[in-house]
Structure 1
């Protein structure tokens, strides 16, 4: 008998992915692998709705609390770590259950997806040339070596990145674009939501976070260097409540801004995941959800 497929539970924030992952782990003899980029951070618990130890029900969880807030999350680093963890889980005869709403991180773990390296010296040289000669000249150069990228890229940062990748690898940047091809067998389960109900749930969740001490958590992380990190300080809720600390917003204003931003994020997540035809969608409020999901994984 070969290695069982990786199970991935995906969908928008607030849809119940963490709870379903635990139920599947208990049903299938599995362990959970986090693919939510903001849950990598130690101390970012309330604002990320990080699953508590009690809610884990004894199921081992991997890749939670692996970074300080001053560190930058990296998709390529995550890919390496996630694949190692998944291989280890399977080697022990368990099922790996990937869970998260960070679409690119999910695909990095599941799909054939390469991340070309970077070189600060090459990058600085290209940026200097951009400053000297302008975007049109750089785009013309890109068109010579990678017409597909030149056709679809329009901002300076991405044009520089595409030229850097070609210079470092000899391959067009477009050749590194992800394909919907699994790195190893996988089953993806998506939680289909009713939008109005999700919006209500997200608003209630933000208010519950405020009541649970979100402002105090942000204050504590601010003292630990939150603003110095490139990734963590942009997290939903944290960016808004830093404004409360700065005196430019009230708690009520920050909560409302967080609700709006979270709803917008959920909409982007749904757009991302709905584009993947390999996902089987199940009703997030189905009383028999765990059983239906487990049946898909057997």
Structure 2
């Protein structure tokens, strides 16, 4: 099923000199940037009567823009009564504290039972927003804060803010190996050349920047606080493995148990039994997409990471470090 959409308008002074895709996003906020860009590249947008299929084409105030687009009905996902830990909600956005084990979006091998299905149940009108308002993701076994848009204008602004690095995301993690100081990893990330489900540091990947600082040191592990400048798939996990400090529990990227010498049974059991990457999205800060107000939220460290840190502290107490 498809629906024809006819839109028209005059480029306002506020969009003078901007790219076509930026101008139409401002003029027609009820449609997502990706949909508008597709209409442009498909030749369904005219400027002063002439078809323009280049999103980067500059426009001037006073130009007339017409869109004769086709709105293709997307696959409808089922609403499911899955419990959500909602940290904040208003008419435009929701902030969710995602638990470990919850997949964000349906895909191969996970057709339902996801955060998207839960969002559709909690707020049915969100099915009118592309991807049910999801603007960024967390891995299945990563816990913590995510922002979700409840309207298309809110989603448009949040996606732009994410692309412009205007949303601050801070994480807690426990990695293998003792670290003495923080730093920055600035290495491009792309699909692994042979393991197609893995990401890797590759020369032709997308730019990726991760900042980290030491919170607490243990005999053979380090508690970190990290901040993302970019949002590549598996970014923290890949960057920490690249500098030879993979996250505890991250068996995909080399985080197998690495106990210190003479480790007691409690620590050995904890490391063997920690079956997810020790990674938690602890703080999320952003300008509200509609009001512009600066907002910030914190999610407490999840119980399994609290227990992991407690066992590591007990080991350090028994075997003090310098």
Give the TM-score, by structure 2 length.
Answer: 0.22
Q: Which has the higher strand share?
A: 2
Structure with larger RCO (C-alpha < 8 A, sep 6+):
1
Larger Rg: 2
Q: Which has the higher helix share?
A: 1
